[in-house]
Amino acid sequence: MSARTSAGELRPESRTREGAHPPGADAGRRLVVLDGVRILAALSVLLYHYLVLASAWGGPTAAIFPVASRFAAYGWLGVEIFFLVSGFVICMSAWGRSVGDFAVSRVSRLFPAYWAAVAFTSAVLFAWPEVRGVKGLTDVVVNLSMLQSGIGVPHIDDGYWTLFAELKFYVLFAIVVMRGTTYRNCVFFCGLWTLAGIVAPTADSGVLSFFAISPFAPYFTAGIAFHLMRRFRPNAILWGIVGVQYLLAQHYVHDRMISNLGRGLAGQTPVWPAHVIITLGFLVMAAIALGVLDGIRWRWLPHAGAVTYPLYLIHMMAGLTVIHHFRDRVAPAPLVLGVATTMLLLAWTVHRLIERPLGRVLRDSLRRGVQDIRSHTPHRPGLAGFPAQPSAPEAERVPSRG
């Protein structure tokens, strides 16, 4: 019989067969391979913005980067890969937490670097409104909330649209955390959100469409299923969830190409590489779920992964503005390389000097607030920061690998 912890998870040293990945073995250990996936996704998005978007160069980039632009035209898929990783990480980080702790972790993780990025990008656009300007300080203030998409205020940086999609996912998954982050509840959530995503495009419901986010939900959902595989062992249900999400993700590829490249360029760009990239993304996440890539522990990967979020936040509009400003004075290739390097250095600076220290301060302050709510709220499991229902019974009923 397998040894179990008090939480109902298999102890890391227990195995069902030689070489099988032990459930629960991730506790306290960072999956550095996820950092590698993140940095590749972030760099692909950066290259897409710098080598494909015409706004910085004054016209189509095919003549400027005839070879590189053809590959970079698929860099927008880095966002989809981000969502895939996010589903995995959020499910992993929410385990055993109350909804209050979950909210504190998300707010303290997202906002410090984001506030710095909004301030930095706004300063650049106010100083050099060459690619695009800022209408006023009101837009900047609203952007600080990360809710601008919901009330129709323009993004300071066009890349921020992804953060609102992330927030929707967090709000929905917070319901799972409130009920108790268990195998059963996560599987139920995956099924319900999948159904909502299928129905939403033809349903006359703005609320359903708002939260279903049909083109992107398959990536979050697949990420959740992959984490459940890693935590509890794969089974037919989880593979079925992943398979459905994979098919749904492929369904939206053509529309996503049009929305990112425009109908003209999308019509000239083969669609099959996008399908292949998504397939590779799912395969890599499957390998992570099965423990195949656990041997990758390069020390530099966590440092590279640490700059991924601030790099994504600061690189787009500020970088395009700098490229536009110097495009007639610096050769294209050195200009792109110089701007990309500068953004990486700035991202590291934001991480070290703002994201980490401010994140700690914000986290400690919010935790005190949650504790105050606890002290003034009757005990109701899963609410107001109280521990959610225990997951042990669910873990006992998870089908074994076989």
Q: Give per-residue pLDDT as tens, 46-60.
A: 999 999 999 899 888
The radius of gyration of the chain from alpha carbons, rounded to an integer in Å, stands at 22
Report whether 226 contacts 285 (CB < 8 A): yes
pTM of the entire predicted model: 0.86
pLDDT score, position 126: 94
Average the pLDDT over 335-349 and give the result: 97
Question: Over the stretch 355-374, which tens digit does the pLDDT of each residue have?
Answer: 999 999 999 999 888 887 77
Cα–Cα distance for residue pair 294/309, rounded to 1 Å: 23
Q: What is the pLDDT of residue 297?
A: 87
4 strand-pairing partners: 10
Say how far apart CA 359 and CA 363 lie, in whole Å: 6
What is the spatial distance between Cα 83 and Cα 219, in angstroms, rounded to a whole number?
6
Residue 379 — pLDDT band, cuts 50, 70, 90?
low
The predicted model gives 342-352 an average pLDDT of 97
SS3 277: helix
Long-range contacts of 102-108 (CB under 8 A, 24+ apart): 102/174, 102/177, 103/174, 103/366, 103/370, 104/363, 104/366, 104/367, 104/370, 105/363, 106/170, 107/362, 107/366, 108/359, 108/360, 108/362, 108/363, 108/366
Task: Report the 10 Å Cβ neighbour count for 267.
Answer: 11
Residue 402 has pLDDT above 90, yes or no: no
Instruction: Please tell me the predicted confidence (pLDDT) of residue 185.
Output: 96
Q: What is the reported pLDDT for 29?
A: 58
Q: What is the pLDDT of residue 70?
A: 94
Portion of the chain with pLDDT greater than 70, in percent: 86
Confidence of residue 115 (pLDDT cuts 50, 70, 90): very high
Which tens digits make up the pLDDT trace of 130-163? 999 898 899 999 999 999 999 999 999 999 999 9
Q: Could you read off the pLDDT of 79-110 as tens digits, one per residue?
A: 999 999 999 999 999 998 999 999 999 999 99
Is the predicted pLDDT of residue 30 greater than 90, yes or no?
no
Residue 353 neighbours by CB distance under 10 Å: 11
User: Which residues, listed in sequence order, are joined to residue 327 by a DSSP beta bridge?
Assistant: none
Q: Which residues contact 268 (CB under 8 A, 6 or more apart)?
A: none
Q: Residue type for 5, please?
A: T
As beta bridge partners, residue 10 has 4
Average pLDDT, the chain: 87
- Residue 377 is predicted with a pLDDT of 64
In this prediction, residue 378 carries a pLDDT of: 66
Return the pLDDT at 101. Answer: 92
Q: Do 225 and 266 meet the contact criterion of CB atoms below 8 Å apart?
A: no
Residue with the larger pLDDT of the pair 256 and 31: 256
- 363, exposed or middle or buried, with CB in 10 Å at 0-12, 13-18, 19+? middle
What is the CB-side half-sphere exposure of residue 114 using CA atoms within 13 A?
22
Q: Is the pLDDT of residue 291 over 80?
A: yes
**In the predicted structure, residue 385 carries a pLDDT above the cut 60:** no
Among 223, 235, 228, which Cα is nearest to 166's? 223
Whether the predicted pLDDT of 294 surpasses 80 = yes
Helix axes 356-375, 99-127, angle to 10 degrees: 140
